Amino acid sequence: MEPTCLDTSLNLNVDPSSVHTDMVLEEELQRLRRENKRLTEMLTDLCDSYMVLQKQLTQLKNTNFEQDQLESRKRKAESECCTNKFGVVNNNNVECSSITEDSFKRYKDFSSSPKVSKVLVKTEASNNSLYVMDGYQWRKYGQKVTRDNPSPRAYFRCSFAPSCPVKKKVQRSLEDPTILVTTYEGEHNHGHQRGEIEGGKGSSPVSSPTPTIGSACPTVTLDLVKSGFFETAQKSSVQQFLVQQMATSLTRDPNFTTALATAISGKILQAKW
DNA sequence: CGTGATTGACCGAATGC
DNA sequence: GCATTCGGTCAATCACG
């Protein structure tokens, strides 16, 4: 997919005394509607692509598992160090579902139990942190260096609700240290936490594939790693999620908020006079 | 002072002999 | 069956706001 470059700024710097103000605003509104429609179409395409990838991934996993069954036990143990990755690269951020370094001997467990999911998160090369902001609040309770990977594995519990059984493990990929392999276990028994998505208290603000918008040429990147995304894999949920992401992106854009404030205050002043 | 991170110690399962 | 290894968890301690 070609790079997304959207103009989210509102061109509202119009002369208040101009008799064409309403027309200009109307044109701006039309432009934004067209932009909105275009975005919706792009998101639909993105969702379709994701579904296709997911299907291919499942097929590949099945194939590999059958082949692996024929291998010797020792060979299988060695294969635990190998990682197969399939992802969607979107500018600087990579969000992907994953087949991970775990051996296929547990594959059936994974497939039969949707409570375990794995997510790969691309991070900055200079970023050594093991924190992944996924919309939930986590408390770290341990860290270990595992045998097959020199980088430490961090253990987290969901700290939002004391009764929440969800745990996650985060470890850097052996092949690509810029990729964090996150393993989620269990299901949240509470709602999603909006606070952390927006940089709230909890984890450090790192490794977050959050939407970014530049001032000159805004680039909307989508975070597909938010918890629950890969588990549900239902189009409606995906679209709802993407819309949320877009809303967050827009409200984070200083240009957008400034323009919005200007527009509102202008309208109020117009109404008064 | 409360909350969360760090890290060494401990435990249990898996594995090898 | 026993010893060893390893992954996961606990809990004491520390740092920070």
* Cβ of residue A142 lies below 7 Å from strand B: yes
Q: Rounded to an integer, what distance in angstroms lies between the CA atom of residue A178 and that of residue A194?
A: 26
- Please report, rounded to whole angstroms, the spatial distance between the CA atom of protein residue A142 and the C1' atom of nucleotide C13: 14
CA of A127 to C1' of C13 (A): 27
Does residue A159 lie within 7 Å of nucleic acid chain B, judged by its CB?
yes
For the stretch A195-216, pLDDT in tens is 433 333 333 334 443 333 333 3
Closest nucleotide to the alpha carbon of A142, via C1': C9
The answer to whether the C-beta of A248 is closer than 7 A to strand B is no
CB proximity A143–strand B (7 Å threshold): yes
**Is residue A131 within 8 Å of residue A185, measured between CB atoms?**
no
Strand B contact at CB of residue A106, distance < 7 A: no
Any strand B atom closer than 7 Å to A202 CB: yes
Which has more pLDDT, A150 or A194?
A150
**pTM metric for this prediction:** 0.48
Please report, rounded to whole angstroms, the spatial distance between the CA atom of protein residue A144 and the C1' atom of nucleotide C17.
28
Flag the least confident range among A9-13, A73-77, A88-92, A256-260. A88-92
Between A254 and A58, the more confident residue is A58
Give A137's pLDDT tier (boundaries 50, 70, 90).
Answer: confident
Interatomic CA distance for residues A222 and A242, integer angstroms: 7
Q: How distant is C1' of C14 from CA of A160, in Å?
A: 24
Q: How confident is the model at residue A25 (pLDDT cuts 50, 70, 90)?
A: confident
Nucleotides of C under 7 A from a protein CB: 5-11
The ipTM value here is 0.90
**Whether the predicted pLDDT of A129 surpasses 70:** yes
**Which residues, 6+ apart, have CB-to-CB distance to A119 below 8 Å?**
A95, A96, A97, A98, A132, A134, A181, A182, A184, A225, A230
Strand order across the A116-122 sheet: A88-90, A93-97, A116-122, A179-185, A167-172, A152-158, A138-145
Q: What is the pLDDT of residue A62?
A: 55
User: What is the CA A156 to C1' B9 distance in angstroms?
Assistant: 19
